[in-house]
Structure 1
């Protein structure tokens, strides 16, 4: 929270805001399964225009690839309750 108070824009906070806003509109990406084939996401993923693609479905060399750890951090930032989020990040 100190980073935010000092004018920073920490990625977890930005992601949390964006995902929750999209979720309230019914447009948030699925954090648990591949947008294309529906397979549960268990390893690295690629961000597509509409959600995450599993390693079997992505093939765009110019897309953003997220490691398993990065994906899990985004999921935690989006889904954990406010108090835990503040303590965690």
Structure 2
């Protein structure tokens, strides 16, 4: 049975997504910092230009952010919100 999309239900889903996203951002920042530091140290030892190291670090950070951003959505799909669940339903087409 389909339920009406109310502000209360919307806010419950939004909050569930928001706090998970905040944790994912923190995790991505930590992972990105570690990967960036390792890449920077390795590239620096091989004499790679600072501008190139910054570009590589930025690209690594963006990649980590993209990968980690999927997890909050995956975590709330199928989650029980009390009187409803957030699920995927096939179209009847």
TM-score normalised by L of structure 1: 0.22
Higher strand fraction (1 or 2): 1
Larger Rg: 2
Higher helix fraction (1 or 2): 2
TM-score normalised by L of structure 2: 0.22
Which protein has greater RCO, CA pairs closer than 8 Å, 6+ apart? Answer: 2
